[in-house]
Amino acid sequence: MTATHLPSPKAARAGSGAPPAPAPRPRRRRGGAGGLALTLLTWAVTLVFVAPALWMVLTSFKQEADAYTDPPRIFFEPTLDRFREVFAADFAPYLGNSLMATLFSTTLVLVLGVPAAYALSVAPVRKTKDVLFFFISTKMLPVVAVIVPLYVIAGRIKMLDNIWTLVILYTAMNLPIAVWMLRSFFLEVPRGIVEAARMEGASLPRVLWSVMLPVMAPGIAATALICMIFSWNEFFFAVNLTASQAATVPVFMTGFITSEGLYWAQLSAAATMVSLPIVIVGWIAQRQLVRGLSMGAVK
């Protein structure tokens, strides 16, 4: 028996007169000049925003004479004398007051804001929109318009130059924003999770504690960090309602503005130390913060 030789597909196509199959087109590389330009633009914008902070840190290691040079001096002999001078100026009590006012007020904001936002999202009433508008309308009032009544009230109840006055004011200042943010995060939680928990017999507080809060952890972290930043940087209430016992670090930094001029190196060292706690907290909570501030992050 003789073997039958079958023609190859290529030979068959050649014999039948069919056109050859087109060669696969090479894949186009993504990016190119447009991607490179976008990357360079992103780095340029980042440097514009980061450069002042980097220059502040750089100036904090200079002598006062080096901080005043024109043009600015980039290469210099670094020193820690400015940081020693900041600590010698009794910096620790101001730092402790800021930490106490920030931590206590943020805790109170979460304790009051989480149940309020939960109620407005899970069991809204007819006037929910009016309530939300009332919350946010309190932020539209200029702070300078209420400082005189607050000063009089604090003086009458013997609460001037008291750290608890700042705690109460910072709580009231941040609570409307926290309720709005937390409510938006609650609305992002799928309704099926809440309905399943309710069908299992869980009460509304049980649903909040065991179901909603674990899912909403990134949103709560983002809200807490924003409230901490607002409280830490607040200056107007602190400078008008405190003197020596309850003054915070923003008030402390005004001490470097004297009749002799502005001490740039010392001010930069103080600003670096004041910024460090918030930077550390933000770095620790960066993953939760990014997830919380992203659209649909808690789904």
55: number of Cβ within 10 Å: 13
CB distance 270 to 87 below 8 Å? no
Strand partners, 257: 262
Q: Are 188 and 299 in contact (CB under 8 A)?
A: yes
Half-sphere exposure of 172 (CA within 13 A, CB side): 12
CA 229/CA 219 separation, integer angstroms: 16
Beta bridge partners of 105: none
Give the pTM. 0.78
Structure-block tokens of residue 193: 């999770």
CA–CA distance, 11 with 9 (Å, rounded to integer): 5
Can you tell me the distance from the alpha carbon of 196 to that of 208, in angstroms, rounded to the nearest whole number?
Answer: 13
3-state DSSP assignment of residue 294: coil
151 contacts 240 by C-beta, under 8 angstroms: yes
Q: pLDDT tens for the chain, 299 residues: list them.
A: 444 455 555 554 555 555 555 555 555 555 567 788 888 888 889 888 888 889 889 988 988 888 877 787 788 888 888 899 888 888 889 999 999 999 999 999 999 999 888 888 877 777 777 878 887 887 788 888 889 999 999 999 999 999 999 999 999 999 998 988 888 888 877 777 777 777 777 777 777 787 778 888 888 888 898 899 999 999 999 999 998 889 999 999 888 777 666 778 888 898 999 988 888 887 877 776 666 555 444 44
Rounded-to-integer distance, Cα 125 and Cα 127, Å = 6
What residue has token string 């002598």?
Answer: 63
Q: Output the pLDDT for position 30.
A: 53
DSSP at 208:
I
Structure tokens at 116: 């309020």
Q: How far apart are CA 112 and CA 170, in angstroms?
A: 13
In one letter, which amino acid is 157? I
* Model pLDDT, residue 87: 86
10 Å CB burial of residue 272 (0-12, 13-18, 19+) is buried
| Spatial distance between the Cα atoms of 112 and 132, rounded to a whole number of angstroms | 15
pLDDT in tens, 155-206: 999 999 999 999 999 999 999 989 888 888 888 777 777 777 777 777 777 7
Taking alpha carbons only, the member of 93, 96, 85 closest to residue 244 is: 93
Task: For residue 261, give the H/E element and its range.
Answer: strand 261-262
Domains, the chain: 92-265+277-293 (1.10.3720.10)
**Residue corresponding to tokens 């979460």:** 110
- Taking a C-beta distance cutoff of 8 angstroms, is the pair 156, 88 a contact? no
DSSP 70: S
In this prediction, residue 26 carries a pLDDT of 52
